[in-house]
Amino acid sequence: MSSKKKIGILGASGYTGADAVRLLARHPNAEITALTANTHAGKAMDEVFPHFFMLDLPKLVEWEKVDWSKLDAVFCGLPHGATQEIIAAVLAANPKIKILDMSADFRLRDMNTYAQWYGHEHRAPKLQGEAVYGLTEFYREKIAAARLVACPGCYPTAALLALVPLAKAKLIDVDDIVIDAKSGVTGAGRGLKQNTLFSEAGEGLSPYSVGTHRHSPEIEQEIGVAAGSNVTVNFTPHLIPMSRGELCTSYVKLNGVSPDDLRAALAAAYKDEPFVHVAKKGVMPQTQNVRGSNYVQVGVFADRIKNRAIVISVLDNLVKGSAGQAIQNMNLMFGLPETAGLEQIALFP
């Protein structure tokens, strides 16, 4: 009998689901045994994603057709809003299954904040109470003991890995943080949308959700935990013409320390981390350094304005920004080496 963990992927016909398949198919301790889809249900996976021609994968089916009692873990790459009831049903069918949710449905702990930003009451508040926020580097022990892990959004992962250690050590003024972020178009999913058409996204850089993006409260929640106070950040995302990758530029005010002190604090915080790399002074993080990999690179630069610094972080939105971080968390939940299946180096150029 195989000792591999039996894995299901909800939303395998989407981008995060497909990257989970790409990584799990070569994971030494995982066996993909169920894949679900909505409009693509009934198709073979390589009909939907021809780059999987070499894999022998289960057919895409509707989620109701899966026998969840036979699985050890499920990755969920469904749209936010559609996830809460489906996860509740999966857990009812198998209370022992481990859930790695990549959607936003279980990330916000405060139910009023959730309703305010997502436009409806939470549909599984009890499960929300149980969910652990899946930013691996800061919630390792809780993740290892959890049943339901709410993996962070791609923008929050990039911003929080740059800022949480600085907020925790009170090196920056948490009331004066400006985060300017850029994402490749896979961040918007595979479904057809006018703004991600090549003709509309291919030759320009577009800000969107200015002052209103739903990742603001998620970033504020976690910087607030680190700082021990309520925090409000300025966060502006942009769509940039590349397929995958994300770059966050965070402008911060220093609490009587130097930019070199920030870099030293980040280097100390991440010295034993397998996936977070603090760039040497003068080295510029760039999305090409992490494309296709679970690595994050963070760099600190002096601002010419006195008492300010600029922190730049990069990741791949489909790897450390979703499927990769979810696998990192799964490894913790099953007591496997945290890096299992995740040691790919960036695809460069």
Ligand X SMILES: NC(=O)C1=CN([C@@H]2O[C@H](COP(=O)(O)OP(=O)(O)OC[C@H]3O[C@@H](n4cnc5c(N)ncnc54)[C@H](OP(=O)(O)O)[C@@H]3O)[C@@H](O)[C@H]2O)C=CC1
Binding residues for ligand X2W (CB under 6 A): 80, 103-104, 153-154, 183, 187-188, 215, 237, 239
Question: Of 75 and 270, which CB lies nearer to ligand X in the complex structure?
Answer: 75
What's the closest the beta carbon of residue 193 comes to ligand X2W, in angstroms?
A: 8
Secondary element (H or E) of residue 245: none
Question: Of 33 and 250, which CB lies nearer to ligand X2W in the complex structure?
Answer: 250
37 binds, among ligand X, ligand X2W, none (CB under 5 to 8 A by kind): ligand X
What's the closest the beta carbon of residue 89 comes to ligand X2W, in angstroms?
A: 20
Q: Is 81 in contact with 104 (CB distance < 8 Å)?
A: no
Question: Of 211 and 282, which CB lies nearer to ligand X2W in the complex structure?
Answer: 211
237 binds, among ligand X, ligand X2W, none (CB under 5 to 8 A by kind): ligand X2W
Return d(Cα 169, Cα 155) in angstroms, integer.
22
Return d(Cα 156, Cα 310) in angstroms, integer.
17
What's the closest the beta carbon of residue 147 comes to ligand X, in angstroms?
A: 19
Catalytic residue among 76, 151, 154, 248: 154
Q: 280-304 b/e with 16+ CB inside 10 Å = b?
A: eeeeebbbebbbbbbbbbbbbbeee
Q: Which residue is nearest to ligand X2W (CB)?
A: 187
What is the bridge-based pairing of β-strands 30-36 and 60-61? parallel
What's the closest the beta carbon of residue 48 comes to ligand X2W, in angstroms?
A: 20
Q: Is 60 in contact with 45 (CB distance < 8 Å)?
A: yes
Smallest CA-to-CA distance from 298 within 309, 308, 171 is with 309
Q: Is 95 left (phi over 0), alpha (psi -120 to 50) or beta?
A: alpha
Say how many CA atoms lie within 13 Å of 335 toward its Cβ.
1
State the residues that interact with ligand X by CB under 6 A. 11-17, 37-40, 63, 77-80, 82, 102-104, 153-154, 186-187, 189-191, 317-318, 321-322
Catalytic annotation on 154?
Answer: yes
What's the closest the beta carbon of residue 82 comes to ligand X, in angstroms?
A: 4
82 binds, among ligand X, ligand X2W, none (CB under 5 to 8 A by kind): ligand X
Active-site residues: which are they? 154
